[in-house]
Amino acid sequence: MVSVKKKAQVFYDKSYKNKGLKAQRKYPNEELCRFFGRNYFSIKKNIRKKIKILETGSGSCGNLRMISKEGFSAYGIDFSKEAINLSKKLFKKEKLVCNFEVGDFTSMSYKNSYFNCVVDVFSSCTLDKKNGEIYIKEINRILKKNGRFFTYFPSKKSDMFNFKTRILHDSNTLLSLNQKSAYNTDHTLRFMSMLQYCNILKKNNFKIDYKEELMRTYFSGTEKFYFLVIEASKYKDL
């Protein structure tokens, strides 16, 4: 039986191989831009290079392009070798700098307390419940004290998670869905409530600094999808 992580990796490798960087968004996530506006854009340009920012699940680099162009020290990790290879070519073409790595979110090679900020935009949701909690422990490990973690994540309020045709892998993770929906179901997709996610972060020594739950509709308003937007800061090591 193919593991949850392997299934997602195979899906994204195939997607990037067939569609190139068009497989994912070209421009940064709107809520990530607001996060940077609240925390980083007021920092002087000559200081930004000292701030190390990692995106887990960097994909087509819509977010990392902004981070690099704004002068921060950019890092990207993705389990898709195809995505990383495409990203390296893009950054070379645009004369941007980023440290890319093919790797597993649950066991990253970075040193302890290395990053000032870690960004997760709809990426760790490809992990199941067990591995999702391991991921948060890893984020604590690689973040400096007072480092920030930003996540944009599917909410359990979403219609997609509550359709009667759903098949679950675990209590948080949608394995398959026998109907058309807002997001692809060729790989697993994990959902959490705001309370669940905040409790996991608190258990792993994070303080919640900002939280919102947003909703948008699909298919002319017939399907609702909710997103958790959470900003947290690490106050001590585990």
- What does DSSP assign to residue 43? S
Lowest mean pLDDT across 54-58, 130-134, 179-183: 179-183
**What is the rounded CA–CA span in Å between residue 107 and residue 109?**
7
Find all residues with CB under 8 Å of 35, minimum gap 6, and list them. 150, 210, 231
Which of 119, 74, 122 shows the shortest CA–CA distance to 232? 119
Q: What is the pLDDT of residue 7?
A: 81
What 3-state class would DSSP assign to 94? coil
pLDDT grade for 21, boundaries at 50, 70 and 90: confident
Q: What is the pLDDT of residue 1?
A: 46
pLDDT grade for 2, boundaries at 50, 70 and 90: low
- Tens of pLDDT, residues 101-126: 999 999 999 999 999 999 999 999 99
pLDDT score of 25 more than 90: no
Lowest mean pLDDT across 5-19, 123-137, 143-157: 5-19
- Tokens 């979403």 locate to 158
pLDDT score of 184 more than 80: no
Q: What is the pLDDT of residue 10?
A: 85
What 3-state class would DSSP assign to 19? helix
| pLDDT mean over 133-161 | 98
pLDDT score of 41 more than 90: yes
The string over 102-119, giving b where at least 16 C-beta atoms fall within 10 Å of a residue's C-beta and e elsewhere, is eebbbebebeeebbbbbb
Which of 68, 46, 36, 47 shows the shortest CA–CA distance to 148? 36
Q: What percent of the chain has pLDDT over 70?
A: 99
* E strand or H helix at 190: strand 189-190
Q: What is the pLDDT of residue 187?
A: 85
Q: What is the pLDDT of residue 57?
A: 95
Torsion of CA 135, 140, 144, 148, to 10 degrees: 70
Which of 127, 134, 81, 87 shows the shortest CA–CA distance to 107? 134
pLDDT score of 192 more than 80: yes
Q: What is the pLDDT of residue 112?
A: 98
User: What is the pLDDT of the chain when averaged over all its residues?
Assistant: 94
pLDDT score of 9 more than 90: no
* E strand or H helix at 168: strand 166-168
